[in-house]
């Protein structure tokens, strides 16, 4: 029997490409919309009104790189 109590999950295993999300075509979450507005304001960027959840995630990554926030 293996004792898994000391093992830690690999956090990279939880990361999935937004293009593969089952819910990727849904509207962005309220948290995504709020954070996107903040990032867009800091980057002086315009956001389209019709982003999907997956598109919002990708745009967040792009704007984080542009503004120096996040990762």
> Quick check: is 59 in a domain?
yes
> Quick check: is 30 in a domain?
yes
* Domain count along the chain: 1
- For residues 26-65, one letter each, b for 16 or more C-beta atoms within 10 angstroms of the residue's C-beta and e for the rest, the string is eebeeebeebbeebbeebeeebeeebbbbbbbebbeebee
Which tokens belong to 15? 């990361």
pLDDT value of residue 52: 96
Q: Decide if pLDDT at 13 tops 70.
A: no
Structural domain of residue 56, as residue ranges?
A: 24-67
pLDDT tens digits along 16-31: 899 899 999 999 999 9
> Quick check: is 12 in a domain?
no
pLDDT tens digits along 23-64: 999 999 999 999 999 999 999 999 999 999 999 999 999 999
């Amino acid at each position: 029997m293996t004792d898994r109590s000391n093992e830690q999950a690999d956090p990279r295993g939880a990361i999935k490409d937004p293009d593969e999300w089952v819910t990727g075509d849904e509207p962005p979450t309220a948290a995504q919309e709020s954070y996107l507005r903040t990032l867009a304001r800091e980057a002086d960027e315009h956001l389209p009104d019709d982003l999907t959840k997956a598109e919002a995630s990708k745009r967040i990554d792009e704007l984080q790189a542009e503004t120096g926030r996040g990762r």
